[in-house]
């Protein structure tokens, strides 16, 4: 049975974002916690902000403060789906919904670990909500 925690996790072990100090070093995580951190970092990064990876990121920031039409939401959906498929292979998207309110846009992203349900890894899913 695979373990999702610790340095032997099949989903990796690394520094969590946003960067936080834990004692004398940066906070680290593995498994689901690390993948969640990486997914939120990807969603919150503007495409072109990472110099050595100009394609990394999404169009979320470009849409900030816009009066979102249905076409704009579709562009945003494609940007998010493409970014996750390209840059976060540990994630399987299960759903992506937008909730428009007067002064904000809520993005509800439902996902699970890729490969969940195999190799003894529970197929639990998670929903992340970002507010813009």
Report pLDDT for 5.
55
Which residues have a Cβ under 8 Å from the Cβ of 64 and sit 6 or more positions away?
132
Kindly state the DSSP code that residue 50 receives in the 8-state scheme. Answer: S
35-87 confidence digits (pLDDT tens): 888 888 888 888 889 889 889 998 887 777 677 888 988 988 999 999 999 99
83-103 confidence digits (pLDDT tens): 999 998 988 888 899 988 877
Enumerate the β-bridge partners of residue 14.
29
Report pLDDT for 82.
94
- Whether the pLDDT of residue 2 is over 50: the answer is no
At 118, the pLDDT band (50, 70, 90 cuts) reads: low
CA distance from start to end of the chain: 40
- Whether the pLDDT of residue 124 is over 90: the answer is no
Structure tokens at 113: 């670990």
Report pLDDT for 17.
73
Measured between alpha carbons, how far is 90 from 50 in angstroms, rounded to an integer?
20
- Whether the pLDDT of residue 10 is over 70: the answer is no
Contact 39, 60 (CB under 8 A): no
């Amino acid at each position: 049975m695979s373990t999702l925690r610790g340095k032997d996790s099949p989903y990796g072990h690394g520094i969590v974002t946003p960067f936080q100090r834990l004692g004398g070093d940066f906070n680290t995580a593995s498994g689901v916690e690390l993948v969640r951190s990486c997914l939120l970092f990807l969603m919150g990064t503007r495409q072109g902000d990472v110099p050595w990876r100009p394609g990394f990121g999404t169009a979320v920031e470009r849409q900030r403060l816009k009066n979102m039409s249905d076409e704009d939401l579709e562009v945003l959906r494609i940007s998010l789906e493409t970014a996750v498929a390209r840059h976060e292979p540990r994630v399987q998207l299960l759903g992506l919904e937008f909730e428009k309110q007067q002064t904000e846009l809520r993005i509800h992203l439902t996902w699970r670990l890729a490969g969940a349900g195999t190799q003894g890894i529970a197929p639990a899913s998670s929903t992340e909500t970002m507010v813009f």
